[in-house]
Amino acid sequence: MAIVIKRIGILTGGGDCPGLNAVIRSIAKPALTFINAKVIGILDGFEGFVEGRIRELTKLDVTGIVNLGGTILGTSNKGDPFHYPRDGTSGVMVTDCSDLVVDNYRQWGLDALIAIGGDGTMNIAHNLTKKGMNIVGVPKTIDNDLDATDITFGHDSALQVATEAIDRLQTTASAHHRVIVIEVMGRYAGWIALGAGVAGGADVILIPEIPFNWDVIFDFVWKRSKGARYSIICVAEGAKPEDGHHIIKEQDSKRTDPIRLGGIGEIVAARIQEETKLETRVTVLGHVQRGGSPSAFDRILGTKFGTMALHAASRGEFGTMVSLRGRDVVTVKLEDAIKHQRLVPPDSQLIMAARAVGVCFGD
Catalytic one of 44, 80, 119, 143: 143
Residues 6 or more apart whose CB falls under 8 angstroms from that of 363 comprise 210, 211, 212, 213, 216
CA trace torsion 262, 264, 270, 274 (10° rounding): 160
Q: Which of 299, 328, 331, 325 is nearest to 313 (CA)?
A: 331
The answer to whether 143 is a known catalytic residue is yes
Q: Under 8 Å CB-to-CB from 195, ≥6 apart: which residues?
A: 159, 162, 163, 350
**DSSP assigned state of 208:** T
Pairing mode of beta strands 84-88, 91-95: antiparallel
Q: What letters, b where the CB count within 10 A reaches 16 and e where it falls short, cover 9-46?
A: bbbbbbbbbbbbbbbbbbbbbbbbeeeebbbbbbbbbb
CB-count exposure of residue 106 (10 Å: 0-12, 13-18, 19+): exposed
Q: What is the torsional sign of CA 348, 352, 357, 359?
A: positive
Answer for the pair 224, 178: CB distance below 8 angstroms, yes or no: no
Closest CA to 237 of 272, 283, 305: 283
d(CA 6, CA 137): 19
Q: Is 303 helix (H, G, I), strand (E, B) or coil?
A: helix
Sign of the alpha-carbon torsion through 322, 324, 329, 333? negative
Cβ pair 268, 42 in contact under 8 A? no
Which residues are known catalytic residues? 143
